[in-house]
Amino acid sequence: MTIQSEYSPDSDRIMSVALGPQHPGAGHFRIQLWLDGDYVVRAEPDPGYVHRGEEKMAEYRNYIQNVPHLERPVILDSSGILFPYAMAVDELMNNKIPPRAEYLRVIMAELNRIISHMYFLAIYGIFTGHTTMIEWSMGDRDFWIDIAERIGGARVTFAYTIPGGVRNDMPEGLAERAYKTCAWFEKRMEEYEKMFIRNPIFLSRTEGVGVLSRERAIQLGATGTVLRASGVKHDIRKADPYSVYSDLDFEVPTENTGDCWARAYVALQEMRQSVRILRQAFKNIPPGPVRLKLGPQPRVPAGETYTRAETAHGEDSYYLISDGSPRPYRLRLQTGSFRNMLVLPNLLKGVHIADVPPVYWSLNYWPVHADK
C-alpha cells in the first residue's frame, strides 16, 4: 500500500483517530492519528491531561514542603526526580552532605530505577501480547519495593531525598537482604532475556519497528534509554558525575539499532548495572550522620543554579532561583519524558496502526512526568 505524501483532513482516504486520553495503555495521554488505511501518515501528541502545576506550586511552599509534591509526577521514580532538586537547594545553601547520606541517595535512586524499569517491561509485555511478562515483572518488582520500603517507610513515593541529605538512616541488617536480592535478580534477568527479550513474538513486534537513528536522536534531544538505544553513550552519571557516582564502577549500556527492541534491551541491561551499583554502595557506605539540621523552613541564600541527574526516564533538571526567602522565587523542571515525547511523531509516521502501542511504550514515556 502506498501512503499519500500529500493529504488533507477532508480527504476520503484519510481517517482521523484519537488514541486516548481514556485509553488504559495511553496513561491519560492523547495521540491524534491520521490513518491511510492501516498506515499512520501523521501523529500529533496531545499532552496536558494530567498537568498539576508543580512549578507554580513550588513558589507557594517552602523548600522542605516542596519535597512530597515534586515526586508526584513520576511516582515510579520518586527518588530520581527529587535527586536534582535536593542538589539544587544544597548548592545554593553551600551544604556539605554527609558521605553516608550521599550513598543512601544513590541506593534509593538505583532501587527506584529498577522499580521503574520493571514496570516499563511489564506494560511492554501487555502491549506486545506477552501476558507472562506483566505477571513476572510486577511480582518480582515487589522484592525491590520491599527494600525501598524498609529504607523510606512507604511503598510508592518515599519523600526520602531531601535538602541536606536524606530523611532517615536505613535499618540494620538491610545490606545482607539486599545482597541476596541482587544475587537472585541477576539470575532472574537471564530468564527475562530468554523468556521476553529474545521471545519470537516480542522480536516480531519490535525488531526494525520505530527506528530512531543516532543522528536523529541527537537532533531531537532524546534522552535516557531512547538515546542510548540509538548508539549514543551518554549518561549524566558518567558525563557529569554527581554525588558518589564517580566512586562507583559501572557501564553505560547502548545498542545501535535504535528500534523498539533495542530500547527494551537497554532497559534490561541498565537494571544489571543498577544491581552492580547497589552491591558497591551497600558494601562501601560509611558510618555517620545522614542529614544536616536545616530546620523546617530553611532560608536559602539569594542566587540561582542549574542541576541535573540521570533518572529512570532520562535526564531531569532543575533551574532554581532563590530571593533569600524560605520559598523558591522560581523553579523550572525539565523532564526526560517531555523530551522523549518530541520523538514520538517522528517514529509513528509510516508504521502500521498495530505498531503504535509498542512504539509509544518503547519511549518509556510517563504522561504526568511530562505534564508535571
Contact 280, 182 (CB under 8 A): no
Q: In order along the chain (372 residues), what is the average pLDDT of each group of 10 residues? A: 47 84 80 93 93 94 96 94 97 97 98 96 91 91 96 93 96 95 95 93 94 96 97 96 96 96 97 97 97 92 97 97 96 96 94 94 94 92
Q: What is the pLDDT of residues 222-259, one digit of tens each?
A: 999 999 999 999 999 999 999 999 999 999 999 999 99
pTM of the model: 0.94
Q: What is the CATH number of domain 51-371?
A: 1.10.645.10
Query: Which residue pairs from 29-35 have beta carbons closer than 8 angstroms and sit at least 24 positions apart in sequence?
Result: 29/365, 29/367, 29/370, 31/344, 31/348, 31/356, 31/360, 33/348, 33/353, 33/356, 34/7, 34/9, 35/353
Annotated domain spans of the chain: 51-371
Q: How far apart are CA 108 and CA 127, in angstroms?
A: 29
Q: Give me the pLDDT at residue 27, please.
A: 78
